[in-house]
A and B are shown apart, each in its own frame.
Chain A
């Protein structure tokens, strides 16, 4: 559940890292802004219009996606492209700076409070194989799977996907072979941002609320998921996201029993980081990744 959201966000990290070697710290904020936009749309047209809930939500998604794609493109064009050849630390600090900027812009626009997502989606629980799930949860999982399938098709079956793969292998060489590298990188950011928008709406639907500060922790965890799966590896990000979701909920559920009540479920966030550290220390390539070659 949570895992599928992590996976969607992780995809954005992993695609950008795969091509630019950059941790796009601002990606979590894109998710947050997608979430905020969707809620605004849903609240505006949803109250009193009498349209059915799912239609209203779809409209929200429909507006959040292009908005986030634009934002992603803007990020790439304005902040990252001028630094393509700069030291990595410079790009990293810029990413952090953009993250701060977006977060605070969102705070100014939407305020400091939690804003809540109207209960438009089916939330009555169903019993499936002994577990209780709601309609929203089912939708989230189905949608995630569909999007991942589409992404894999895009990457492995289309010209654009081939160009993306070529660029991530070697931007210089891809450029020589006639690939418009700038365009590909821009596309990568836009696709990642579109997925982020969907994830943002899902989170809003899942928790029923959104907050200007939520992108940060979410981004960190999604990045963990990307690393867990093997950063730069698209299928790895999907797997890592799902795995992290499972580890977190299981861990939070059982930590009390494991430590004899010493540590409680409020240590849930520790799991993401503990997993991250263990993976990086013992298997830096992640679950599916190849070993990252030493940069000479």
Chain B
């Protein structure tokens, strides 16, 4: 969040790395304007369906940033992350729908979703603390599946989750008496439901980005990365690895919970099939594809992976115009091309599309240092090669 930092003191004292302060602030203003006008532009250029895609991009950005804390920062490969999305979604669904006749307000449910999901994160994280790498991945995958299976089956003997049918008629979010689901107008400008959700999601996404960035550049973030790099050395440097891993699980899960509760009200219904392993993998791909540990990369990854399948819908019309008929249903091709894209990106850009600067340098350095072993060219204290 460079904007936030430069907003506090007048940025003149420190010359920004990119151009003059004026150029920077002009860029910031442009960026803010673009974000504010985005739904209008997208609607006009691409159609209403794409405003919905835009909303989903925000939602998945929050989700991916949550997973980024666990996987990208702390290096804990979590394949069951979608479970926390599910917890947030079901919490909202159960407390704001006719299913139990509860209609608790949004401002209460949002923090509650974060809290409960965070609690789940610690609960599921605790048994995995001693596991690493692939084992951790498989256990979290198991937890994710178990939660989904329970959601699917807890309709009997007591109907908690309404089973595979899921929960419908979830109340839309109301902020200060303004329902997100209705059309509102300010003067001549009208705001349909998808626009309202866009602005709400935008605010929360920026908040999540802000929190992520603050955590990353702090004592906590450094300790997470240290654990990712070398857990033993981290503990030998005084890092309480157990607590910090739990904290990573909890923080990541709470982001997921927030996104989940928003998703529930946005869709109006939830069902267990939205929370399968495939969804976990999708979120993981957003994190890895974009550039693990780099917030901008993760945002890019989320944006790409949400829009890509939508854009691939155009394959149908494209085939018709090229070959005169539809050979392969576009819906069949979408995931296939998605899989191909994953494999290709990993092949050619193993550090992700937008890796963090250090990571990029590291990849270069690793290649150069292949033969640099102890006893190699010595470097004396002043950094010059010694005889």
- Direct A–B contact in complex, judged by CB atoms less than 8 Å apart: yes
- Nearest neighbor of B289 in chain A, beta-carbon distance: A93
CA distance A263 to B347 in the complex (A): 45
Contact with A280, one of B131, B145, B346 (Cβ below 8 angstroms): B131
Q: Are B146 and A270 in contact (CB under 8 A)?
A: yes
Q: Would you give the 0/1 interface string for B128-140, flagging 1 where the beta carbon is closer than 8 Å to chain A?
A: 1011111101110
A88 touches B134 (CB 8 A): yes
The smallest beta-carbon distance between A222 and chain B, in angstroms, is 12
B50 within 8 A of A: no
Question: Which residues of chain A are within 8 angstroms of B340 by Cβ–Cβ distance?
Answer: 97, 101
Residues of A whose CB lies within 8 Å of any CB of B are 21, 23, 79, 82-83, 86-94, 96-101, 103-105, 107-108, 216, 220, 223-224, 227, 261-264, 266-267, 269-270, 273-274, 276-277, 280-281, 284, 292, 294-296
A-B contact pairs, 16 of them (CB 8 A): A23-B134, A23-B137, A79-B347, A82-B347, A89-B77, A89-B292, A90-B288, A94-B347, A96-B281, A98-B339, A104-B336, A216-B277, A264-B153, A264-B156, A277-B142, A280-B135
- The count of residues in chain B whose C-beta lies closer than 8 Å to any C-beta of chain A is 46
Mask, B271-285, CB within 8 Å of A = 1, is: 000000100010011
Nearest CB of B to A38, in Å:
23
- What are the 7 closest A-B residue pairs judged by CB atoms, nearest first? A100-B339, A97-B342, A273-B142, A101-B339, A104-B336, A97-B343, A90-B350
Task: Check A93 against B332 for contact (C-beta < 8 Å).
Answer: no
Give the residue among A87, A97, A103, A280 with the most B Cβ atoms within 10 A. A97
Chain A residues with CB under 8 Å of B350's CB are 83, 86-87, 90
Other-chain residue from A82, A90, A104, A273 in contact with B335 (beta carbon distance below 8 A): A104
Cβ A100 vs Cβ B141 within 8 A: no
Is the C-beta of B149 less than 8 angstroms from some C-beta in chain A?
Answer: yes
Answer whether residue B333 sits at the interface, using C-beta atoms and an 8 A cutoff. yes
A240 to chain B, nearest CB (A): 13
Encoded as 1 (CB less than 8 Å from any A CB) or 0, chain B from 332 to 367 comes to: 110110111111001100100000000000000000
Is there a chain A Cβ closer than 8 Å to B157's Cβ? yes
Cβ of B373 under 8 Å from chain A: no
Cβ contact of A99, chosen from B71, B128, B339, cutoff 8 A:
B339
Closest Cβ of chain B: how far from A149's Cβ, in Å? 29
The verdict on A97 contacting B131 (CB below 8 Å), with A223-B138, A264-B153, A270-B146 known, is: no
Is A107 a contact of B332 with CB atoms below 8 Å?
yes
| A267→B142 CA distance, assembly (Å) | 13
B18 within 8 A of A: no
Q: Is B46 an interface residue (CB 8 A)?
A: no
CB-CB under 8 A from A97, the residues of chain B are: 339-343, 346
The listed residue (B139, B157, B342) touching A100 by CB distance below 8 A is: B342
| A94 touching B149 in the complex, CB below 8 Å, given contacts A88-B133, A100-B336, A107-B332 | no
B127 within 8 A of A: yes
A270 to B154, CA, bound (A): 13
Q: A83-B347, A93-B284, A107-B332 are in contact. List 14 more A-B contacts (CB 8 A).
A: A23-B134, A79-B347, A87-B350, A92-B77, A94-B346, A94-B347, A96-B281, A97-B346, A108-B336, A220-B145, A223-B138, A273-B143, A281-B127, A295-B133
Bound-state Cα–Cα, A223 to B134, Å: 12
- Asked if residues B138 and A276 are in contact (CB atoms below 8 Å), the reply is yes
Report B307-336 residues with CB < 8 Å from chain A CB. 328, 332-333, 335-336
Nearest Cβ on chain B to A145's Cβ, whole angstroms: 28
